[in-house]
Amino acid sequence: MTTTYVLRGVRPLGGEPADVVLDGGRITHLGAPGSATPSSDTDPGVVEIDGENRLILLPGLVDLHTHLREPGREDAETVCSGTRAAAAGGFTAVHAMANTTPTQDTAGVVEQVWRLGRDAGWVDVRPVGAVTVGLGGERLAELGAMADSAAGVRVFSDDGKCVHDPVLMRRALEYVKAFDGVVAQHAQEPRLTEGAQMNEGVVSSEVGLAGWPAVAEESIIARDVLLAEHVGSRLHVCHLSTARSVEIVRWAKSRGVEVTAEVTPHHLLLTDERARSYDARFKVNPPLRTEGDVEAVREGLADGTIDIVATDHAPHPVEDKDCEWAAAAFGMTGLETALSVVQATMVDTGRMSWADVARVLSQAPARIGRIDAGPAAQGRGVGVGEPANVTLVDPAASRTVRGAQQVTASANTPLEGMELPGVVVATFLRGRATVLGGVPVDAGGEDGSGLAGRVGETEAVAS
């Protein structure tokens, strides 16, 4: 028997307080405060949560860009630890990037990752397929086989590497049209970034770290939007980080090019000034940029040029960060802090509403990944009949970030010691609580079946 959750006095998408009932994997009631009838006093199968007319109810967050590291780097993260961290951050679905070992470039490996996600039960894991074999940039991986596999891959990316060969990029863009796929490009011109360590600019010139010029990103994005227009394909731009990248995407959209773009929480918040500390927790690819770039990506996100926020959650073991900058790995964790950073940079500054947050962190990424329909639909609205994938946020609470206390298996957060607004109180995956009271509810602990939220196993979606 599954639990019925009655959320009293919660604010769907930050609007007026309401009562919401989650039952049988669906949202079964949405009405004025006091309108929800199930009561924990009379029914032991009911759990009530009081939102105190303050807690905000969002659709479960969807990350289009997560590195779960399994298979291959289980010392940094596993599918289980990473998805548990995702749930703690308010997510109900993540797209697992392809740069695992072995690479997610065959139907076999993407199905393996998909199954690991299903078994863990924290969120829906949607594997991203590699564009090229072994991320080698030389020949197309079997994109069709991955699309047809149980994992149902729709997003393809060589993330970490750029598909820099223009012919190969063209072919990939064309080929995935057959199954409504999208190529998510890591835009980095490789010749312009050989040995690159950080943003090329004033700070790099002083601290003596090899520069990663903005133009290396912008030139690839410019080429790709033109290619996408030429062949009429969908293009997604990963972790866009510069002011001119925003301009190029804005221009492409004005021409009707089917391009979508993402920005990471860290590019919304931090600048390359952080590199002056030589603290490799600030080393990331693409690198932290300048104040002007941060302002431009915030503006681009607010005006819709940038469609989504994606974490680029990139866990690394301590030894890969506690060393010389040049020897350190690129990347930072982000699943548990993404929502707070968006609140701090976009909501609390008055640039976006909570409905906008739902759009950029749930609905739009689900739409880009084509997981917004079907039995495991994600990123839907908060309405009666929709899947009960929701997250409950306390926008008035705050916390101090401590890498060592995060749920992810790695501690490499660039926000160490920073106080951020917003705390995820509860997360529900198809009506099952994965997080309650701000703490992950260990799978299998609640009702003997941690997998109750699995697709096909709940009453609601079995039909």
Partner 1 sequence: MRHLLSTADLAKDDAVLLLDTAAQMAATQSREMKKLPTLRGRTVVNLFYEDSTRTRISFETAAKRLSADVINFSAKGSSVSKGESLKDTALTLHAMGADAVVVRHQASGAPHMLAHAGWLDAAVLNAGDGMHQHPTQALLDAFTIRRHLVGAGSDAGTEGTDLAGLRVAIVGDVLHSRVARSNVHLLHTLGAQVTLVAPPTLLPVGVETWPCEVSYNLDETIEQASPDAVMMLRVQRERMSGGAGGAFFPSAREYSRKFGLGSQRLSRLPGHAIVMHPGPMNRGLEISADAADHPRSVIVEQVANGIAVRMASLYLLLAGSDTADDERTSL
As annotated, the active-site residues are 312
Q: Give start and end residues of each alpha helix (H) in 8-165.
A: 79-88, 107-120, 143-148
Q: Tell the smallest beta-carbon distance from residue 137 to partner 1 (Å).
A: 18
Contact flag: residue 213 with partner 1 (CB under 8 A):
yes
Q: Which residues contact 45 (CB under 8 A, 6 or more apart)?
A: 1, 2, 3, 4
The rounded distance, in Å, linking the Cα atoms of 258 and 457 is 36
| Residue set of the binding site | 65, 67-69, 99, 159, 186, 239, 285, 312, 316, 330-331
Q: Binding of partner 1 at residue 201 (CB under 8 A)?
A: yes
Reported as type and span, the H/E element at residue 7 is: strand 4-12
Q: Which is nearer to partner 1, 191 or 445 (CB)?
A: 191
Instruction: Map the footprint of partner 1 across residues 215-244, applying CB under 8 A.
Output: none
Binders of partner 1 among residues 300 to 329 (CB under 8 A) are 319, 322-327
Q: Which residue has the tokens 């705390």?
A: 423
Q: In what helix (H) or strand (E) does residue 265 lie, and over which residues does it extend?
A: helix 265-269
Q: Please report whether residue 291 would count as binding partner 1 according to CB under 8 A.
A: no
Which of 100/412 has CB closer to partner 1? 412
| Residue pointed to by tokens 């060589």 | 158
CB of 316 to partner 1, least distance (A): 14
DSSP-assigned letters across all residues of 220-264: HHHHHHHHHHHHT--EEE-S--SHHHHHHHHHHHHTT--EEEEE-
Cβ 422 to partner 1 shortest distance, Å: 31
CB of 432 to partner 1, least distance (A): 43
- Window 41 to 80, contacts with partner 1 (CB under 8 A): none
Q: Residue 70: CB partners within 8 Å, gap ≥ 6?
A: 77, 78, 79, 82, 100, 113, 116
293 contacts partner 1 (rule: CB under 8 A): no
With CB under 8 A as the contact rule, the residue among 123, 128, 183, 203 that binds partner 1 is: 203
Residue 416 as a binder of partner 1 (CB under 8 A): the answer is: no
DSSP-based three-state secondary structure for 59: strand
Q: Return the range that interacts with partner 1 (CB under 8 A); candidates 109-117, 204-212, 381-389, 432-440.
A: 204-212
Contact call for residue 82 and partner 1 (CB under 8 A):
no
Helices (H), 408-458: none
Give the residue numbers of the binding site for substrate: 67-69, 99, 285, 316, 330-331
Give dist(CA 324, CA 347) in Å, integer: 36
Contact status: 150 vs partner 1 (CB under 8 A):
no
> What b/e readout covers 214-239, taking b as 16+ CB neighbours within 10 angstroms?
bebbbbbbbbbbbbbbebebbbbbbb
Q: How many residues bind partner 1 (CB under 8 A)?
A: 25
Q: Where does this chain bind partner 1 (CB under 8 A)? A: 191, 194-195, 200-211, 213, 277-278, 319, 322-327
